[in-house]
Structure 1
Amino acid sequence: MRHVTSRLAWRGAAWLLLTALALTVILVAACMRADAGAVNVVSVTDGDTIRVVLQGREEPVRLIGIDTPELRPRPTPFARQAHAHLRELLSRRRVWLEFDATERDRYGRVLAYVWLIPPGAARDPRVDMVNAAMVLAGWAEALEVRPNTKYAALFVALQNEAKAARRGRWRDTR
């Protein structure tokens, strides 16, 4: 009798372990999908903010690592051009979001790197990542806000390249 009870205990422990392992795999897979999930762009708010449908809800997304001139309350120089360039890149497109250390800012906006193709398939972030493309075009400046700094060095290098080539907002600078 004691042998049967021991076997049942081992079976129960094995079943519990397998269930926990399966749940872990499911949760990890869900997190990976959420990190690089494809979403539809609903609108472009300004040069560094868009609205997307994320998990069935329309959400504002702030592009991490860049800053563009403000459209509101009054447009600052180059705000309209930055907005137009981002609209040209993204209007009504399907994009992929990549998150960094913090998923939302103090205003409740989702913080993300926005990709035109899945991040794992990207070959050149200068072209495939919208944040980088905005800096390279000269319509956005590199903006490092810790702890979201995964691509900070890239954005600074692209800003220097845009300045040297006098692109976008750097056109009339010496």
Structure 2
Amino acid sequence: MSRLIAVLGVGVVLLAWSVLGFNGSNRQDTSQAAGAHPAAAALPEVASGDASAAEGVDARPAQGRPGEWYRVERVIDGDTFVVRIGDTFETVRLVGVDTPETVDPRKKVQCFGAEASAAAAGMLAGKEVRLERDKSQGERDRYGRLLAYAYLEDGTFVNLRLIEEGFAHEYTHAVPYMHQALFKDAEARAREEGRGLWAEEACR
């Protein structure tokens, strides 16, 4: 009888070990999957539906707001640039804006594209930026680019500034984003004041 009890005890121990080991390996796999994009996971995230955004209130951050800062290594065009996050170079696509094309091989260089690219380069090249994701827009676009809002150390909200100065259109891709009302208002003012690409002589 004692021998039978001993055998049963060993069996219970082995069964418990196998179950715990299986669950442990599952947890490891899950954590690895969750960390598939560590660069994006490092960025702070904001949620759409914020009352101030819905009412069109200026939601720009205060100057000197703390956060992670990344050096802009290269500006590709008016709404796309490259930063280094840790050991990874990431291409960032600005949320809510669309500038005239200059590098799309399927299209000719569009009116005011060169000016928009130059404005973005002047604002961003070699600078430190803080990036912020919008939960409603997902982590990346179909080209694998990080989708983000960008802020300079002096408090400049890059996405908004490009629209305010007439270098970009407001752009909504499928789902409204947090600062949509703010950006739409900025484009309307730029149009009324004839700034940038909205100037009468800009695209003649």
The TM-score normalised by the length of structure 1 is 0.72
| Bigger CA radius of gyration | 2
Q: Select the residue among 98, 101, 105 that pairs with 1:70.
A: 101
Sequence identity (%) = 35
Shift of 1:46: 0.4
SS at structure 2 position matched to 1:40:
strand
1:111-138, Cα deviation, whole Å (9 max, x unpaired): 00000138xxx5xxxxx11000000000
> Following TM superposition, by how much is the alpha carbon of 1:38 offset from its aligned partner in structure 2, in angstroms?
1.0
Question: 1:116 maps to what in 2?
Answer: 152
Please, which of 58, 63, 66 is the counterpart of residue 89 of structure 2? Answer: 58
1:15-164 equivalence runs, <5 A: 34-35=43-44, 36-72=67-103, 73=105, 74-101=108-135, 102-117=138-153, 122=155, 128-147=156-175, 149-164=177-192
Q: Quick one: structure 1 residues 55 and 146, their matched pair in 2 at CA, closer, same or farther if it must change by over 3 Å?
A: farther
Per-residue CA distance 1:83-141 (angstroms, 9 max, x = gap)? 000001011000000100211111100000000138xxx5xxxxx11000000000100
- Give the RMSD, CA atoms, in angstroms: 2.0
Q: Tell me, in whole angstroms, the C-alpha distance in 2 between the residues paired with 1:117 and 1:54.
A: 17
Letter in 2 for 1:152: Q
* Corresponding residue pairs, total: 135
Runs (4+) of structure 1 exceeding 4 A deviation are none
Matched-pair contact (CA < 8 Å) for 1:64–1:148? no
For 1:132 and 1:114, locate their aligned partners in 2 and report how far apart those are by CA, in whole Å.
Answer: 9
Q: 1 or 2 for the larger relative contact order (CA 8 Å, sep ≥6)?
A: 2
The corresponding residue for 1:165 is 193
TM-score by length of 2: 0.62
Aligned to 1:7: none
**C-alpha distance in structure 1 between counterparts of 2:148 and 2:69, whole Å:** 12
